[in-house]
């Protein structure tokens, strides 16, 4: 029976619309999945070797503590971050299987380099902050423990192997939904690392909101998350714009008129986050305040204006945006004129609302594209992709 199926598929005529595209599609997908997994395993092996060597050399043959500069946690974090960025770029540029970078228009070398750099930095920052936070958690269970040279090398190699394997696989299937998840994980790891690495744990009981202000590791950990997150948003605004244009294709000219403004606004939000990370509240002064005000205005404009920018995006997303706009207004009023919260708290609320809204937007766009690719709803003819002159008359 299996031979009959193969023979029937091989003998299908070109006019058979159902079976003709099936085997070529499977032949492309199955080897690609195998090649991607093999590449991930190879990247993990190379990452372990690099991590083992660097981890051993960093100890100088001596035992090292779990946390602190020159300790196991910081060494493993730096090595894993470098390996993660390298593995992501290698996976994205691998000639064996074309990576998915979403835009429906061919990207130039500069634009693609920006996308790759932003995504590589995102994975590196997530890995570094996650390893830093994990090291502090482990240090709480093993207070005062020192690790000798060989175990340090083994642990560093293992962390580097995981840091190479996962980003390599991520590079092979980058889409809007996965991008949204990366942004959430990045900011969550930054906040967690900042709280765990605080030199004074009791400080959080008195005031939960001095993120990024402290002079110790906790301060620059959160500032780093803000800067990297802002760079990612600014760098991937073109990527997001390409996905929105792809969603708008076939929906009429009105649907795509706001794709570019939305992408520009997302990039400007990223610039604001970079400024807030580089110039915290205690050092930024008027520049910090202006960046915070611009952040609030941009996020409010996106939340409220989405129905006019992207008509047809869907009522649930529009309702979500307006609900978030109400929460944003409430947070701003609590700061001024009520005075019941701080500027830092307001900035965190606005950033959290924006990231949550962006996650919903990107996942909605990804779901709509999947539905359209599956033919679940009809769309108008796309004037960009169809050419009536070359169409084959029926």
In a domain, 215, yes or no: yes
Question: Is there a domain that residue 366 lies in?
Answer: yes
In this predicted model, which residue has the larger pLDDT, 8 or 350? Answer: 350
pTM here?
A: 0.69
Q: Are residues 116 and 202 in the same domain?
A: no
Task: Say yes or no: 209 and 128 in one domain.
Answer: no
pLDDT digits (tens, 9 = 90+) for 15-25: 444 444 444 44
Task: Dump pLDDT digits (tens) for 196-234.
Answer: 665 555 544 444 444 444 444 555 666 777 787 787 787
What percentage of the chain exceeds 70 in pLDDT? 72
Domain boundary among 147, 174, 201: 174
Q: Could you tell me if 274 and 365 lie in one domain?
A: yes
Final residue belonging to a domain, choices 149, 174, 199: 174
* Tally of domains in the chain: 2
Q: Has residue 239 been placed in a domain?
A: yes
Domain ranges, residue 305: 175-375
Q: Using the 3D structure, point to which of 159, 174, 189 is the last residue of a domain.
A: 174
Is residue 341 located within the same domain as residue 215?
A: yes
Residues 197 and 84 in one domain: no
The answer to whether residues 267 and 180 belong to one domain is yes
3-state secondary structure string across the chain = CHHHHHHHHHCCCCCCCCCCCHHHHHHHHHHHHHHHHHHHHHHHHHHHHHHHHHHHHHHCCCCEECCCCCCHHHHHHHHHHHHHHHHHHHHHHCCCCCCCCCCCCCCCHHHHHHHHHHHHHHHHHHHHHHHHHHHHHHHHHCCCCEECHHHHHHHHHHHHHHHHHHHHHHHCCCCHHHHHHHHHHHHHHHHHHHHHCCCCCCHHHHCCCCCCCCCCHHHHHHHHHHHHHHHHHHHCHHHHHHHHHHHHCCCCHHHHCCHHHHHHHHHHHHHHHHHHHHCCHHHHCHHHHHHHHHHHHHHHHHHHHHHHHCCCCCHHHHHHHHHHHHHHHHHHHHHCCCCCCCHHHHHHHHHHHHHHHHHHHHHHHHHHHHHHHCCCCCCCCCCCCCCCCCCCCC
Same-domain check for residues 319 and 296 = yes
Residue 147 and residue 275 in one domain: no
pLDDT tens digits for 239-273?
A: 788 888 888 887 767 777 788 899 899 999 989 98
Same domain, 201 and 347: yes
264 with 149, same domain?
Answer: no
Evaluate whether residue 390 is within a structural domain.
Answer: no
The reply to whether 245 falls in a domain is yes
In a domain, 258, yes or no: yes
42 and 130 in a single domain? The answer is yes
Higher pLDDT, 218 or 73: 73
Same-domain check for residues 186 and 264: yes
């Amino acid at each position: 029976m299996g031979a009959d199926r193969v023979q029937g598929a091989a003998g299908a005529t070109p006019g058979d619309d159902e079976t003709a595209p099936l085997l070529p599609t499977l032949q492309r997908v199955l080897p690609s999945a195998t090649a991607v997994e093999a590449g991930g395993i190879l990247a993990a092996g190379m990452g372990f070797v690099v991590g083992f060597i660097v981890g051993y050399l960093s100890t100088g043959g001596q035992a090292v503590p779990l946390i602190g500069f020159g300790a196991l946690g910081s060494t493993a974090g730096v090595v894993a971050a470098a390996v993660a960025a390298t593995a992501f770029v290698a996976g994205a540029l691998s000639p064996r299987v074309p990576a998915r970078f979403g835009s429906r228009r061919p990207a130039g070398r500069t634009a693609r380099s920006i996308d790759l750099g932003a995504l590589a930095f995102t994975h590196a920052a997530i890995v570094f902050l996650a390893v830093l936070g994990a090291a502090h958690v482990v240090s709480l269970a093993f207070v005062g423990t020192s690790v000798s040279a060989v175990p340090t090398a083994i642990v560093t190699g293992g962390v580097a192997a995981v840091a190479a394997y996962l980003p390599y696989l991520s590079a092979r299937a980058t889409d809007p939904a996965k991008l949204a998840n990366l942004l959430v994980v990045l900011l969550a790891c930054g906040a967690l690392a900042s709280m765990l690495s605080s030199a004074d744990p009791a400080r959080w009981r008195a005031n939960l909101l001095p993120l990024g202000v402290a002079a110790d590791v906790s301060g620059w950990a959160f500032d780093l998350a803000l800067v990297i997150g802002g760079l990612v948003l600014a760098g991937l605004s073109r990527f997001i714009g390409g996905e929105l244009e792809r969603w708008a294709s076939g929906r009429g000219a009105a649907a795509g008129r706001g794709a570019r403004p939305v992408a520009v606004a997302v990039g400007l939000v990223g610039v604001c986050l970079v400024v807030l990370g580089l110039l915290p509240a205690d050092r930024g002064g008027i520049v910090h305040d202006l960046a915070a005000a611009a952040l609030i205005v941009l996020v409010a404009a996106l939340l409220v204006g989405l129905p006019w920018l992207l008509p047809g995006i869907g009522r649930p997303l529009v309702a979500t945006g307006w609900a978030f706009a109400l929460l944003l207004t409430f947070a701003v009023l609590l700061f001024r004129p009520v005075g019941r919260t701080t500027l830092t708290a307001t900035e965190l609320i606005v950033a959290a609302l924006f990231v949550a809204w962006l996650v919903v937007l990107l996942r909605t766009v990804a779901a709509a594209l999947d539905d359209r690719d599956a033919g679940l709803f009809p769309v108008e003819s796309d004037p960009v992709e169809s050419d009536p002159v070359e169409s084959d008359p029926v």
